[in-house]
Copies of this chain bind each other. A is one copy, B any other.
Amino acid sequence: MRSDMLTSILTELNGSSADIEASGIISTDGLMIAAVLPAGMDEDRVGAMSAAMLSLGDRTAQELARGELEQVLIKGDRGYVLMTHAGKEAVLTVLAKPNAKLGLIFLDVKRAASSVSEMI
């Protein structure tokens, strides 16, 4: 099943680094397609915030002449949220720890987003 394959991409991504806490694939209208989240984290909340950030990120990239949106990164003092387009229809959202090695995570997420976009 396709949803099992998407979940296994996320499981592999979460396992690629101890700094990745959670990941999800969300349709561009904010509905969760697949997710591997820790207990207590709400799917709908991750979906809704990802879709809202992507939509405003798209608009910002356009208004400030940055071209087509590829990624949005949010850094808080308790960790990161990284959102990456996975094809036209979906977004890959990853939550990472505060001291995460961003370079490695960017690489792993880019690879996973490309696998997801081939499958959706």
Interface residue ranges, A against B (CB under 8 Å):
41, 45-46, 49, 52-53, 56-57, 59-61, 63-81, 95, 98
Contact = CB atoms under 8 A, between A and B. Distances in A.
Given A56-B52, A56-B53, A56-B56, A46 B74 contact: no
Contacts of A61: 74, 76, 81
B71 A74 contact: yes
A28 to B, nearest CB: 16
A74 B60 CA distance: 8
A98 B61 CA distance: 12
A63 B48 CA distance: 10
Given A66-B79, A67-B77, 13 more contacts: A49-B60, A64-B95, A66-B76, A66-B78, A67-B76, A68-B76, A68-B77, A69-B75, A70-B75, A72-B73, A72-B74, A72-B75, A73-B74
A76 B70 contact: yes
A56 B66 CA distance: 19
Q: A46, A56, A80: which has the most chain B beta carbons within 10 Å?
A: A56
A95 B65 CA distance: 9
